[in-house]
Amino acid sequence: MCRINLSNYDLIKNCRICNSTNLHLILDLGEQPPANSLINKSQLDIIEPKFPLRLFWCGECFLVQLLDIVNKEHLFKHYLYMTSASKPIVDHFKKYAVDIFNEFLNKQENPFVVEIGSNDGSLLKEFKKLGSSILGIEPASNLAKLANDSDITTLNDFFSLNNAKKIAESKNASIVVANNVIGHIENLHELMEGIKILIGAQGIFIFEVPYLLDLIKKLEFDTVYHEHLSYFSILPINNLIEHFDLEIFDIQKQNVHGGTIRIFVSKKNNFKIKDNVKKFIKLEYEFGINNIKTYENFSNDIKNLKNKIVELLKNLKNEKKSLFGYGASAKGNVLLNYCNIDYNILDYIIDTTPLKQGKFTPGTHIPILSSEKISEKGNNDVGLLLAWNYEFEILEKEKSFRSRGGLFLIPIPVPMLK
């Protein structure tokens, strides 16, 4: 039975972009606790709230989305994911800021950059170094405090139409950025109304979202969690943006987070629309984003992948291998809960984030330890790489473990030992 706290849960009946009720269930990952809700030892005997984790597809605008909504205060007011704890993301943000500054801001006098969902301020820090005025908007109190303590001016709040109006009263933003956060926002129409006000006549909205085509092609089911309400392709995004008399003028593919797109939006006719936009739309029709069969095949592939992961882990356990997890990520917690992998299978999970160490994974109750623990491991040890999106960096970082005979199990898209 699903242990739902109804004060923290709602089931919506309409598409959040086009309001259609033509919605089809395409993937059911069962009842799960929120993926970032790590627990303390004292909470192990307390029944955790669990909520349905299901993907639906809109047959009208083709948006893939969650309709089971967990209250955003419950999810985001205290958040343990820190941008600065991930070197690949920090490196990505350094290049990101330089590229955007050089292309759009270097000739402006006192450019103003606003970031929605600014986390601990890692990206804004880079824009500030380049000479921009900055403002972060971050709902997690712990992260907003970290940012403000580091002199990254941050408003501790959810982005809203009201705070967009207040900011714009003083100055329009040259650039509004939002990275891996637009998918978290339930009211996309209020978001775009606020963006339109904030960027004024000349500003640009630049956002990064995981790309639905990559999710489907690479079977990235573990990127589906309660914080992520929408799973974007260009066709539904374009539908939303055109509704507000704005336009997409460029799209760039990024490799971060298993496959991401960076989308550039402005008032109409401010920029020449690049050929990339038409190419992405053509690609999506060819792929079948508008065809329910695409999603039925995807769902069947995920069920088969689950069976392969579980079978391989059981075989390794039977061979008396010592199994642990690597990376206490949100995606890892989704995978663990969907595949029913708990502390009886994995002895522990190691993670580099100090805030996570000493806690336990939600639902599966696996202890999280410091990454120093891997120095004791080697022959006969196998690490389930839950942070598989950083496979290259982790395999390079942990080459000593592998040289001692240790192996990593990469679960997605095809389970394999390396």
pTM, two decimals, is 0.89
Tens of pLDDT along the chain (418 residues)? 345 556 688 999 999 999 999 999 999 999 999 998 999 999 999 989 899 999 999 999 999 999 999 987 666 655 555 665 667 777 888 999 999 999 999 989 899 999 999 998 999 999 999 999 999 999 888 899 999 999 999 999 999 999 999 999 999 999 999 998 999 999 999 999 999 999 999 999 999 999 999 999 999 999 999 989 999 999 999 999 999 999 999 999 987 766 789 999 999 999 999 999 999 999 999 999 999 999 999 999 999 999 999 999 999 999 999 999 999 999 999 999 999 999 999 999 999 888 899 999 999 999 999 988 888 887 889 999 999 988 988 999 999 999 999 999 999 999 999 9
Q: Which domains does the chain have, with CATH numbers?
A: 6-68 (no CATH), 83-271 (3.40.50.150), 293-417 (3.40.50.720)
Residue 2 is predicted with a pLDDT of 44
Describe the crossing of helices 87-100 and 122-129 by its angle, rounded to 10 degrees: 40
Predicted confidence at residue 258, as pLDDT, reads 62
Produce one character per residue of 55-65: b if its CB has 16 or more CB atoms within 10 Å, e if not.
bbbbbbbbbbb
Q: CB atoms < 10 A from the CB of 47, how many?
A: 7
DSSP state letters, 167-212: HHHH---SEEEEES-GGG-S-HHHHHHHHHHHHTTT-EEEEEEEBH
Structure tokens at 120: 């601990």
Helix (H, G, I), strand (E, B) or coil at 30: strand
At 239, which amino acid appears? N
Which pairs from 160-168 meet CB under 8 Å and 24+ separation?
A: 160/190, 160/194, 161/190, 161/193, 161/194, 161/197, 163/137, 163/194, 164/193, 164/194, 164/195, 164/197, 164/198, 165/194, 165/197, 167/114, 167/135, 167/198, 168/197, 168/198, 168/200
Helix, strand, or coil here: 302?
helix
Residue corresponding to tokens 């291998």:
321
Q: Is 53 exposed, middle or buried (0-12, 13-18, 19+ CB in 10 A)?
A: buried
Q: What is the pLDDT of residue 1?
A: 35
The predicted structure's pLDDT at residue 77: 53
